[in-house]
Amino acid sequence: MTRPRRIIEPFRIKVVEPIRLTTRKERLAHLVEAGYNVFKLRADDVLIDLLTDSGTSAMSAEQWSALMLGDESYAGSRSWYRFEAAVKDIFGFRHVIPTHQGRAAERILFSTVCRPGQVVPSNTHFDTTRANVEATGAVAMDLPVPEGLVPADLHPFKGNMDVGALRTLIAQEGAAQIPLCMLTVTNNTGGGQPVSMANIREVSEVCRTHGIPLYLDACRFAENAFLIKQREDGYADRGVKEIAREMFSWADGCTMSAKKDGLANIGGFLASNDDVLTRQEENLLILTEGFPTYGGLAGRDLDAIAVGLQEVLHEDYLTYRIEVIRYLGEHLTNGGIPIVQPPGGHAVYVDAAAFLPHVPPAQLPGQSLVSEFYLEGGVRAVEIGTTMFGHPDPVTGEEVTARMELVRLAIPRRVYTKSQVDYLVDITLDVWDRRERIGGFRFVEQAPVLRHFTARFEPLYELTT
């Protein structure tokens, strides 16, 4: 009788990078110095870095080889043509504008199409997307399905947009007030949850009826396509690239951070079928990013992305990738830890509000968990809750809290081994065991926008050494 086969890492390791264990006492000193903001830690003082899956992928031998083929010509380089061909092959849009990362594509797009007072709906905007919409004076509006806001709900596509709410918004505002609609695949802020093809299609149909362009925020398009294959009727036998192509066929354009499913350390692009808009966007690109055949990138970066975009669609890679997230989620769930269910594409999201029910949202329970995970085992996670999405009320000064208090354990692509994931489970369980002794935090310093990157905090309880 053969045993069920385990899913293994579909690669072997050629280059290693040491990581350094520190003592609890050292880690507390580092936390205090960082104002309890893990963005301010030195990466050298972190053992397992789950701050983000962005720009942290391990590149393959093919990608490193491609770097050497990089053509650094200012205009019309070979690297550009390889990059453009790879993007068009998968995404299918007529025009591709390279940028140094996703938020540059967002800034160029929104500053070209948005006017003050207009509204940009999304299933859920990511922080940079929201900030770039708001920087134009437009309103960034989140319209997630209700299941998406209930961490324990097992709906398979909690990244979906509430199509009824979209129709209501269009009826209230008028289509002319909505310069575009976005769908973030997967829905990062909402727990790395996928959007179904049925939802993409339905949103697309509503938008087309009203002449509103639909853009996908495509950072994690391959993970979303694979989750469609696993979870949506009718897709089990379809290839992932074919599924990805269908996703984009319903859209009029996309913004992309190649730092995620481009398997690259830097890069991004903006793509669409709009000839007139592209010309305006290219003028802005030249002003701030670079010439249209390199954007803000070196030729070698374009080549690494061209290879990465194709590699990320390999099904053995995606099977392993999604299995790591499922495995981590299952072990935390078995230990009793509340997480966003079912685990999605690139991260496990701990439900900090349920983990620390005695800490009110205004006392930043996610911030407490992030500090405790670092203190316990040198694990760096990120808060996706009131620290990131709340703000002080302009009149009362009281904290307006976020819809959910989450802590994201983002898994870099092809970087950590299974025993490192097991270590992570142990650390999380140890923090869970002493959850009753963990209290809240408060801000001592904060910037008016994107405050989570630079804020300083103070604990409202004593952290144990």
217 binds ligand F0G (CB under 6 A): yes
Q: Considering only residues 80, 91, 126, 349, which one is a binding residue for ligand F0G as defined by CB under 6 A?
A: 126
> Minimum distance between the CB of residue 217 and ligand F0G, rounded to whole angstroms?
5
Task: Please classify residue 120 by burial: count the beta carbons closer than 10 Å to its beta carbon, then call 0-12 exposed, 13-18 middle and 19+ buried.
Answer: buried
Question: Of 58-66, 126-134, 163-171, 300-308, which part binds ligand F0G (CB under 6 A)?
Answer: 126-134
Instruction: Give the residues across from 257 on adjacent strands.
Output: 268
Q: What binding mask, one character per residue, do residues 241-280 give for ligand F0G by CB under 6 A, x or -?
A: ----------------x-x--------x------------
Q: Is the peptide bond before 112 cis (omega within 30 degrees of 0)?
A: no
Q: What binding mask, one character per residue, do residues 140-179 give for ligand F0G by CB under 6 A, x or -?
A: ----------------------------------------
165: CB partners within 8 A, 6+ apart? 143
| 437, HSE (Cβ side, Cα atoms, 13 Å) | 9
Q: Which is nearer to ligand F0G, 184 or 196 (CB)?
A: 184
- Of all residues in the chain, what percent are helix, strand and coil, respectively (each to 5)? 45, 15, 40
- Angle between helices 240-249 and 197-209 in degrees, nearest 10: 20
Question: Of 96-104, 134-142, 361-369, 390-398, which part binds ligand F0G (CB under 6 A)?
Answer: 96-104
Q: What binding mask, one character per residue, do residues 340-379 give for ligand F0G by CB under 6 A, x or -?
A: ----------------------------------------
Q: Considering only residues 87, 119, 197, 219, which one is a binding residue for ligand F0G as defined by CB under 6 A?
A: 219
Alpha-carbon gap, residue 281 to 98, rounded angstroms: 11
215 binds ligand F0G (CB under 6 A): no
Q: Which two three-digit tokens encode residue 294?
A: 């390199």
- CB-based closest residue to ligand F0G: 102
Q: What binding mask, one character per residue, do residues 29-48 give for ligand F0G by CB under 6 A, x or -?
A: --------------------
Q: Which of 230, 248, 184 is nearest to 323 (CA)?
A: 230
Q: Which two three-digit tokens encode residue 340?
A: 């966003």
Question: Of 99-107, 227-235, 293-301, 387-395, which part binds ligand F0G (CB under 6 A)?
Answer: 99-107
77 binds ligand F0G (CB under 6 A): no
| 46-75 positions binding ligand F0G, by CB under 6 A | 52, 54
Q: Considering only residues 27, 103, 107, 452, which one is a binding residue for ligand F0G as defined by CB under 6 A?
A: 103
Q: Considering only residues 70, 98, 102, 459, which one is a binding residue for ligand F0G as defined by CB under 6 A?
A: 102
Question: Of 67-75, 95-103, 222-230, 395-403, which part binds ligand F0G (CB under 6 A)?
Answer: 95-103
Count of residues touching ligand F0G (by CB under 6 A): 15
Q: Considering only residues 184, 199, 368, 386, which one is a binding residue for ligand F0G as defined by CB under 6 A?
A: 184
Q: Which residue spans within 391-447 are E strands per DSSP?
A: 391-392, 399-400, 406-410, 441-445
> Minimum distance between the CB of residue 357 and ligand F0G, rounded to whole angstroms?
26
188 binds ligand F0G (CB under 6 A): yes
Q: Which amino acid is at 361?
A: P
Q: Any alpha helices (H) in 335-417, and if so which ranges?
A: 352-355, 365-377, 386-389
Question: Of 63-71, 97-105, 107-115, 272-280, which part binds ligand F0G (CB under 6 A)?
Answer: 97-105
CB 20 within 8 A of CB 440: no
Q: Which of 327, 350, 357 is nearest to 417 (CA)?
A: 327
Q: Any alpha helices (H) in 191-314, and if so which ranges?
A: 197-209, 221-231, 240-249, 275-288, 299-311
| 114, HSE (Cβ side, Cα atoms, 13 Å) | 27
Q: Catalog residues that contact ligand F0G under the rule CB under 6 A.
A: 52, 54, 101-103, 126, 128-129, 184, 188, 217, 219, 257, 259, 268
